[in-house]
Amino acid sequence: MSPEAAPPPEHPVIVFDGVCVLCSRWVDFILRHDRAGRFRLAAMQGQQGRALLIAHGLSPDDPVSFLLVDQGQGYSDTNAIARVLGQLGMPWRAAGTTLRLIPRFLRDPAYRWIARHRYRLFGRRAHCRLPEPDQAWRFID
Protein backbone atom coordinates (compact mmCIF):
# COMPACT_ATOMS: atom_id res chain seq x y z
CA MET A 1 0.00 0.00 0.00
CA SER A 2 1.36 3.39 -0.90
CA PRO A 3 2.06 5.89 1.93
CA GLU A 4 -0.59 8.30 0.66
CA ALA A 5 -3.22 5.56 1.03
CA ALA A 6 -2.28 4.77 4.63
CA PRO A 7 -4.83 5.90 7.23
CA PRO A 8 -3.81 7.83 10.31
CA PRO A 9 -2.38 5.12 12.61
CA GLU A 10 -3.93 6.59 15.75
CA HIS A 11 -7.51 5.96 14.54
CA PRO A 12 -9.25 2.75 13.52
CA VAL A 13 -10.71 3.01 10.00
CA ILE A 14 -14.02 1.50 8.86
CA VAL A 15 -14.20 0.86 5.12
CA PHE A 16 -17.81 0.76 3.92
CA ASP A 17 -19.81 0.63 0.69
CA GLY A 18 -20.76 4.25 0.03
CA VAL A 19 -23.72 3.45 -2.25
CA CYS A 20 -25.29 0.76 -0.04
CA VAL A 21 -28.27 2.03 1.97
CA LEU A 22 -27.63 -0.47 4.80
CA CYS A 23 -23.96 0.52 4.95
CA SER A 24 -24.89 4.19 5.05
CA ARG A 25 -27.18 3.48 8.00
CA TRP A 26 -24.25 1.72 9.71
CA VAL A 27 -22.15 4.86 9.13
CA ASP A 28 -24.93 7.01 10.61
CA PHE A 29 -24.98 4.69 13.63
CA ILE A 30 -21.21 5.04 14.07
CA LEU A 31 -21.37 8.83 13.78
CA ARG A 32 -24.18 9.00 16.34
CA HIS A 33 -22.67 6.62 18.92
CA ASP A 34 -18.92 7.19 18.53
CA ARG A 35 -19.00 10.39 20.57
CA ALA A 36 -15.26 10.24 21.20
CA GLY A 37 -14.60 10.36 17.45
CA ARG A 38 -12.23 7.38 17.53
CA PHE A 39 -13.28 5.88 14.17
CA ARG A 40 -12.51 7.24 10.72
CA LEU A 41 -14.60 6.23 7.74
CA ALA A 42 -13.53 5.45 4.17
CA ALA A 43 -15.88 4.58 1.33
CA MET A 44 -14.66 1.61 -0.70
CA GLN A 45 -15.32 3.71 -3.80
CA GLY A 46 -12.59 6.14 -2.72
CA GLN A 47 -8.89 5.74 -3.38
CA GLN A 48 -7.91 5.02 0.23
CA GLY A 49 -10.87 2.75 0.99
CA ARG A 50 -10.12 0.74 -2.13
CA ALA A 51 -6.41 0.52 -1.21
CA LEU A 52 -7.25 -0.70 2.30
CA LEU A 53 -9.56 -3.42 0.95
CA ILE A 54 -6.87 -4.65 -1.44
CA ALA A 55 -4.17 -4.50 1.25
CA HIS A 56 -6.29 -6.73 3.49
CA GLY A 57 -7.24 -9.28 0.82
CA LEU A 58 -10.78 -8.08 0.07
CA SER A 59 -12.09 -7.31 -3.39
CA PRO A 60 -13.12 -3.67 -3.81
CA ASP A 61 -15.12 -4.66 -6.90
CA ASP A 62 -17.19 -7.41 -5.27
CA PRO A 63 -17.06 -6.88 -1.51
CA VAL A 64 -19.02 -9.20 0.72
CA SER A 65 -17.85 -7.59 3.92
CA PHE A 66 -16.92 -4.28 5.36
CA LEU A 67 -13.46 -3.85 6.79
CA LEU A 68 -12.18 -2.47 10.08
CA VAL A 69 -8.47 -1.63 10.18
CA ASP A 70 -7.27 -1.14 13.75
CA GLN A 71 -3.55 -0.67 14.51
CA GLY A 72 -2.67 -2.12 11.10
CA GLN A 73 -4.72 -5.29 11.62
CA GLY A 74 -7.72 -5.95 9.37
CA TYR A 75 -10.99 -7.36 10.70
CA SER A 76 -14.00 -8.29 8.59
CA ASP A 77 -17.45 -9.81 8.84
CA THR A 78 -18.92 -10.18 12.32
CA ASN A 79 -15.53 -9.86 14.02
CA ALA A 80 -15.32 -6.32 12.67
CA ILE A 81 -18.85 -5.52 13.84
CA ALA A 82 -18.15 -6.91 17.32
CA ARG A 83 -14.89 -4.92 17.59
CA VAL A 84 -16.60 -1.69 16.57
CA LEU A 85 -19.49 -2.25 18.99
CA GLY A 86 -17.00 -3.07 21.75
CA GLN A 87 -15.39 0.35 21.39
CA LEU A 88 -18.63 2.33 21.55
CA GLY A 89 -19.34 1.86 25.25
CA MET A 90 -22.46 0.48 26.88
CA PRO A 91 -24.94 -0.84 25.80
CA TRP A 92 -23.15 -1.45 22.50
CA ARG A 93 -20.16 -3.12 24.18
CA ALA A 94 -22.56 -5.71 25.62
CA ALA A 95 -24.06 -6.23 22.16
CA GLY A 96 -20.58 -6.88 20.74
CA THR A 97 -19.82 -9.35 23.53
CA THR A 98 -23.13 -11.11 22.91
CA LEU A 99 -22.41 -11.32 19.19
CA ARG A 100 -19.08 -13.01 19.92
CA LEU A 101 -20.89 -15.68 21.96
CA ILE A 102 -22.49 -16.95 18.75
CA PRO A 103 -20.06 -19.32 17.03
CA ARG A 104 -18.35 -17.66 14.09
CA PHE A 105 -19.24 -20.56 11.77
CA LEU A 106 -22.91 -19.56 12.28
CA ARG A 107 -22.70 -15.77 12.39
CA ASP A 108 -20.32 -15.13 9.47
CA PRO A 109 -22.33 -17.05 6.83
CA ALA A 110 -25.48 -15.20 7.91
CA TYR A 111 -23.62 -11.89 7.67
CA ARG A 112 -22.20 -12.76 4.23
CA TRP A 113 -25.65 -13.72 2.93
CA ILE A 114 -26.98 -10.30 3.95
CA ALA A 115 -23.89 -8.60 2.47
CA ARG A 116 -24.30 -10.40 -0.88
CA HIS A 117 -27.98 -9.40 -1.07
CA ARG A 118 -27.72 -5.94 0.52
CA TYR A 119 -28.71 -3.97 -2.58
CA ARG A 120 -31.78 -6.10 -3.19
CA LEU A 121 -32.82 -6.10 0.49
CA PHE A 122 -32.05 -2.49 1.46
CA GLY A 123 -31.45 -0.57 -1.75
CA ARG A 124 -28.64 1.22 -3.51
CA ARG A 125 -27.94 4.92 -3.86
CA ALA A 126 -27.11 6.48 -7.21
CA HIS A 127 -24.11 8.27 -5.69
CA CYS A 128 -21.66 7.64 -2.88
CA ARG A 129 -22.73 8.87 0.54
CA LEU A 130 -21.33 12.34 1.30
CA PRO A 131 -20.60 13.46 4.85
CA GLU A 132 -22.34 16.37 6.50
CA PRO A 133 -19.95 19.37 6.69
CA ASP A 134 -19.64 19.12 10.48
CA GLN A 135 -18.65 15.44 10.20
CA ALA A 136 -16.33 15.65 7.20
CA TRP A 137 -13.25 15.37 9.44
CA ARG A 138 -14.30 11.77 10.24
CA PHE A 139 -14.10 10.71 6.58
CA ILE A 140 -10.97 9.75 4.63
CA ASP A 141 -10.93 10.56 0.89
CA atoms within 13 Å, Cβ hemisphere of 8? 12
Enumerate domains of the chain plus CATH numbers.
9-126 (3.40.30)
Q: Is the pLDDT assigned to residue 132 strictly greater than 60?
A: yes
pLDDT digits (tens, 9 = 90+) for 2-49: 444 454 458 999 999 888 888 889 999 999 999 889 999 999 989 999
pLDDT at residue 141, rounded to an integer:
77
C-beta pairs of 103-111 under 8 Å, 24+ apart in sequence: 104/78, 104/79, 107/77, 107/78, 108/77, 108/78, 111/65, 111/77, 111/78, 111/81
What residues form DSSP beta bridges with 41? 14, 139
pLDDT digits (tens, 9 = 90+) for 63-97: 777 799 999 899 988 999 999 999 998 999 999 99
